[in-house]
Amino acid sequence: MQVTENKKTMIAQLGQPVLKQKALVVEDILADECQNLIKDMMSIVEKAGGVGIAAPQIHHSLRIFIMCSKPNTRYPDAPLMTPTAIINPEIIAASEEIEKGWEGCLSVPSMRGLVPRHQTVTVKYHDAQGLEHENVFTGFIARIFQHEIDHLDGLTFIDRLESMEDLVSESYWYANYATA
């Protein structure tokens, strides 16, 4: 069977060079290209059932990601939030408290890792309208932010594992760790 889908809409998979590159700053948030990319990312992450996606994951090395936490099959306990475009993000402070939690990734299918993350992060970013925001995120939302900003810096959750023993197949995770 031949794949006819455009490469730009397929999710990059572990090993593809775009996932190891440091993404470029977005210069013109209001440009049609940027606005269309945000719309595409919103659609792709919704179809994929993710709670976030970064532009490098769809082959665009730009500092944009979408956070869209909601309960789903992959994250049944995820809090509900409005899908949000995060552009040119920065973590300006992080709590000393680190918590390990299970993460998956649309670019690392069929795997889960027990990843240490800061429990709370103070962040700065621009939204899709170009407005600057400074927020404090905690818990799962802070985890999503850190996971996605890692993609912008050329990292995946596997790069954050303390031990390869913290990496399991998703089927094993569902059988042994997923909440009922």
Would residue 132 show up in a list of annotated catalytic residues for this protein? no
Q: Is 99 exposed, middle or buried (0-12, 13-18, 19+ CB in 10 A)?
A: middle
Given CA atoms 178, 161, 152, 135 in this order, what sign does their dihedral have? positive
What Rg value do the Cα atoms of the chain yield, rounded? Answer: 16
Cβ neighbours of 2 (radius 10 Å)? 3
Which position among 96, 148, 162, 165 bears the catalytic label?
148
| CA–CA distance, 105 with 174 (Å, rounded to integer) | 15
Q: Kindly list the catalytic residues.
A: 148
